[in-house]
Structure 1
Amino acid sequence: MAKKVVATLKKEGGKSFAKVIKAVKSPKTGAWTFKEEMVPVEGVQGALKN
């Protein structure tokens, strides 16, 4: 099933996606974790603001 998704994203008319990785500090422990998201290229700035 993953092969179909990858093939669909690589099509010529498909949307371009970017992987956004943010460092988030836990309020409980104070440890840093990383949150990863796949977002359309147009929505990168919005994903970074949230």
Structure 2
Amino acid sequence: MAKKVVATLQGGAGTKKMTKVIKMEKSDKSGAYVFNEKVMNAEEVDEYLKK
């Protein structure tokens, strides 16, 4: 029987909710698209994606 892996980014009381954000950007060197992954506070996601 396979084991199920559960990853949580949110802890107990008093912790902030964290979110994994994946942003697609075009590389200046090669012109190809690259994916940048970042774990951040859920309230900062909109600001990060608007950059």
Same fold (TM > 0.5): yes
Identity of aligned residues (%): 40
Structure of higher CA gyration radius? 2
Could you list the runs of 5+ residues in structure 2 that have no partner in the other structure? 1-9
Report the Cα offset of residue 12 of structure 1. 2.1
Superposition misfits of 4+ residues, deviation over 6 angstroms: none
Could you list the runs of 5+ residues in structure 1 that have no partner in the other structure? 1-8
Whose helix proportion is higher, 1 or 2? 1
Equivalent pairs counted in the alignment come to 43
TM-score, L = length of structure 1: 0.71
TM-score, L = length of structure 2: 0.70
Q: Root-mean-square deviation (CA), in Å?
A: 1.6
